[in-house]
Structure 1
Amino acid sequence: MLVVWDSTVDIYSCVVEGHAALHSPVVCVQVKVTPEQFSEYKTLTCITTCVLTGNPTYIWYKNGQIVTDNTSPYSVLPDAADSYSCAVKGHEGLLSPAVCVQGQSCYRVTYTKRRICVLKGSTVDISCTVGYYYTTSSFWFRSDKSTPEDLTTDPGYARRVKCTGTYRGPFTLRITDLREEDSAEYRFTFKTQNIDWGHSFPGTTLSVTGLQVKVTPAAEGQKTLTCSTTCTLTDNPTYIWYKNGQNVQGVSSPMYSISSEDADSYFCAVKGRLSSPAVYKPKTSVSVSPSGEIVEGSSVTLTCSSDANPPVKSYTWYKKNGGDYQSMTGPQHVFSHIQSSDSGEYYCESQNEMGTDRSGTINMDVKYKPKNPSVSVSPSGEIVEGSSVTLTCSSDANPPVDKYTWYKKNVTSPKASGQSYSITNIISEDRGEYYCEAENKGWNNSILDVFVDVLCKLPHL
């Protein structure tokens, strides 16, 4: 049978691995002293209420200091002022209470609570009693320091720490305005004329936690808000819930059920203390980068921004009157080589556990130079000398073409301007190739050309 140790409560329990539900709260480790009456030697036995397989090794503490690794039992001389405690090696957190070798008065520290969980910003009292009344000096310290340091001289605790207690005790460490970094194990040490109480004896573990609202699906059409902490609060707090900043009357439980369609903002608090951040559905907007006008062939990024708690877990992009542009990896949609066909209105939807929100639309107006030119001749068919003919130039562009210029091949000066060029009373000298130049200057003040060859054929008369 393999035994694991559950040390999450002050009274510990032994748990058979794989059968955690079978454990019962019992004191796991204690020291038995025999014989009970005065004798030249005392035998100390480390007793566990679980059956341990193999040959476990025990750690023995004398006056709060590790003295040996040994098997149980352990023989010692009966010194009336000494105390002893034991633990199974590898599970030192499950330390037995210290016992006196003779009588009930000896060197020992007994902590009122071995574990305390309190809220950030609050005040905590950590207390202990000392079994020997004639202490010459004492102080509280954090066990994670390489060398024990008196907390009253630690700059990190300046004006937040107060120690009380006379030479008879009890001794209390009060810490105010608690911070999460105050989470640590706190120990008490003292000196007498004969001994210095060991620093290795476990003390009280303090956990400082904030409040957070977790959102989980519940029954159909419902979701559950839970006012959660990273540890179980030591006291029995009264919870308060707020909806859109207003107190929800009649609710004191850490859990609160709301409709799945509820889009309001909620946060929780412990009466008289800390409040959690609010949870609410996303508030979504969309932006385009780079800003300014968009030129065909450039790279353009659409970004969906959302203020939400819990954080947004999915984004979906849509083109108005078009297909959806779903982004599976984040809030951005990138056009690496944007085309004129990408013009249109876009919006995104963001979703978290509290709901879904849709952004406003953003218009993507892709600018491009004239393209897809075409030239028509009217009337069509043979052109007879003396008749009239009209050439018309068309081109797709954004912004639209604002200037057309007509040229005859091998002639430097332009023949005409405008989308149409009419030749009246045509003569043989008008025979040749014509082309038009389409120009738009709307977005970059440069001329963009498209060339079209036009052949006018005149019969020999």
Structure 2
Amino acid sequence: MLMWLRMAPALHLIFLLIIHRVSAADWGVNYSPTQFCALQNSTMTIRCTFTYPTTGYQVMKAFWNIDQVRYDGDFVDLSHNSEYSQRLQYLGDKQQNCTVRLSHVTKKDEHDYYFRITTNVTKGIWIGIPGVSLDIMCVLCSDLQLESPERVTEGDSVRLTCKSSCKLTDTPTFIWYRNSHTLTNIGDKLNISSVSRREAGHYSCGVQGQTYISPAVYLDVTYAPDTPVISISGSAVIMSGDSVTLICSSDSNPLAEISWYKGETSVGSGRIFNISKISSDDSGEYKCRARNDHGEKYSDPVNLDVQYPPRSISVSISGSAVIMSGDSVTLSCSSDSNPPAEINWFKGNKYLNSERIFSISKISSDDSEDIKCRARNAHGEKYSVAVILNAQCEFMMVQ
């Protein structure tokens, strides 16, 4: 650092003697750093050392000054300034250390700072030129920026970096936030070795002890679909003619494309699959597939069991077309229904039995009354057309 020496005119001869006996290298002030960038309300420490000829010289006063401000021709001691007296702490001595600390710095503190000493030899002023410049420009929120990838895939390694547009002299302690909640991570970099979907969100960074934070950046974590799950709206029992809605749900990012299958046949697409008037033909196993750029998954199948009352009931007769007295005759009752119907046989209005097959071992003229079957389940019942065997043991169907 350069040294300025200011002398009163009457002291010119003394100054020449000093220069003759002492080399310029014997005087010096060293500031570290010379450009200071600090955060508002933070504390800055200017490290400073000085040298002077120890033989014949004694430092009488050591202090700091801003902008070479004078009063009555002399440099002003900054510690006497009411705006600095409570915040300025001289940490040095009168030997070599001239370090100073200034707390709660604000925009008003942007000045050039100089260290000054006076000795017992002359009334000259020794002051370190140039001084230390303090910059408080990086107090603005916009000066903190977060660098982050816009989109990552689950399982990737991710690094987020907090930067200031101004190079801070003292390295601050950076803290991190996700969705406005403080994280435990500290430092200008946030490393996530294997990112998960739970770590997606709005990230921002700030400086510990400060009130402002950087603008938030959204970290978008993409991933393949989870195994889809099908839900069925409506009653637990599906009746023919009902409206049935199937909903396929799968967590994925980006949103998955949904396709529907009945067995192996594609029947639709979209998250919701609706059958407005379901029939027995729609019974079967359904599944959905969720697919995006990262993979695909199929749901477990769900079975649509469409129920309905008995229909298409009929009686068939086994044996010869001509039935003779004494022959054995077997009648079979069939019915389309879901759930399967209970079968009952009647001769006229007389109940016979509850088997699907009704047998007459030796038919006679007594069996000439009409015989019919009834199919019944929880949803209804239906009778077959009556079978009439006449006395000649011929048979006919009547309504």
- Shorter chain as denominator, the TM-score bin is 0.3 to 0.5
- The structure with more radius of gyration: 2
Q: Which has the higher helix share?
A: 2
Q: Could you say which structure has the greater relative contact order, defined with CA pairs below 8 angstroms and 6 or more residues apart?
A: 2
